[in-house]
Amino acid sequence: MPSLASELVGRGVAMIVAWDAPSSFAAKAATNTIPIVFLTGADPVKTGLVDSFSRPGGNLTGVSLLVSLLGPKRLEVLLELVPTARMISLLVNPENPNIRADVPEVQQAAQTLGRHLEVLTASTENELDTAFTNTKADALVVMPDPYLNVRRHQLVALTARHAMPAIYPFRECVAIGGLISYGSPLDVYRQMGMQAGKILKGARPADLPIQQSTKVELVINLKTAKALGLTVPPSLLARADEVIE
């Protein structure tokens, strides 16, 4: 990320759009003059990305999903679908700085729900394979991360191969055969585009408040549920924003 950000700065681009914490911090370190529009799942103030939500300061603004708050909820939703699961795996990318805040919250939720939680780490293709080979868990929670989303085809294939019920943060995973997702909808990218458009028309990033996405969508793949031998509770189906058959 740092080398890619430096390359963009060297080209003299008009703006950098950064997805999630690693690319956002790389862009921030590379320039304090080129406008940066970011999308991050962490609290951008607590992580030091910007000064405040209302007046970000500097050359950054963007959209905050605050998805770290959804980790415990994903665990709850997964257990509605797989109530017999006793051991849960939490898959994270160890290179993502968000995990320092996200993992303890899910661990606490698992303890409250009387489940054992193991943390699996993977930041390469081989590490993903190894993580699934070594786990003895009954179900899986995938944490938000750009790399894990990029590797979603491998990830979904691994859950199918190991017959592992899994909940994802992105709808894209369910669209290609994943079981269930609980996360922010695609309109967050439109919010990023609106921020970028304002800057290209002359607005200063420092004066554009951070947009906060509060909408969350639940997507269920019934075909995958059937393949795993799972019956989706009517209460969960009623809450779903989208059902893929």
Q: What is the pLDDT of residue 67?
A: 62
d(CA 134, CA 190): 39
Percent of the chain scoring above 70 in pLDDT: 98
Strands 180-183 and 16-19: unpaired
pLDDT of residue 205: 96
Residue 75 half-sphere exposure, CB side, CA atoms within 13 Å? 28
Name the pLDDT band for 144 (thresholds 50, 70, 90). confident
Confidence category of residue 151, pLDDT binned at 50, 70, 90: very high
Pair 79, 166: CB distance under 8 Å: no
Please give the average per-residue pLDDT across 60-67, as a whole number.
84
Domain 2-65+186-212 homologous superfamily, CATH? Response regulator (3.40.50.2300)
**Secondary structure (3-state) at 67:** helix
The alpha-carbon radius of gyration of the chain (Å, integer) is 19
| Stretch among 31-45, 82-96, 108-122 having the lowest mean pLDDT | 31-45
DSSP H or E segment with residue 110: helix 99-112
- pLDDT greater than 60 at residue 32: yes
The whole-number pLDDT of residue 68 equals 57
- What order of strands is seen across the sheet that includes strand 217-221? 116-121, 87-92, 139-142, 166-168, 180-183, 217-221, 242-244
Please determine whether the domains at 2-65+186-212 and 68-183+217-244 fall in the same fold group of CATH: yes
In contact, 195 and 211? CB cutoff 8 Å: yes
Cβ distance 53 to 209 under 8 Å? yes
Residue showing tokens 């938000």: 144
The CATH architecture annotation of domain 68-183+217-244 reads: 3-Layer(aba) Sandwich (3.40)
Higher pLDDT pick, 63 / 65 = 63
Q: Any idea where the domains of the chain sit in the sequence?
A: 2-65+186-212, 68-183+217-244
Write down the mean pLDDT value for the chain: 93
pTM of the model: 0.81
Q: Inform me whether the pLDDT recorded for 176 exceeds 90.
A: yes
* Angle in degrees, CA 224, 230, 231, rounded to 5: 110
Position 66 scores a pLDDT of 63
Confidence at residue 215, expressed as pLDDT on a 0 to 100 scale:
83
Tokens representing 15? 């703006």
Local structure of 29: helix, strand or coil = helix
Mean pLDDT of 121-133: 95
Spatial CA neighbour of 148 closest among 127, 166, 123? 123
Please name every residue paired with 182 in a beta bridge, in sequence order, or none if there are none.
Answer: 218
Q: What are 179-210's pLDDT values in tens digits?
A: 999 987 777 888 999 999 999 999 999 999 99
Between 227 and 214, the more confident residue is: 227
Residue with tokens 């990320």: 1
Tokens (6 digits) for 106: 């899910």
Q: Which of 9, 50, 45, 46 is closest to 27 using CA atoms?
A: 9
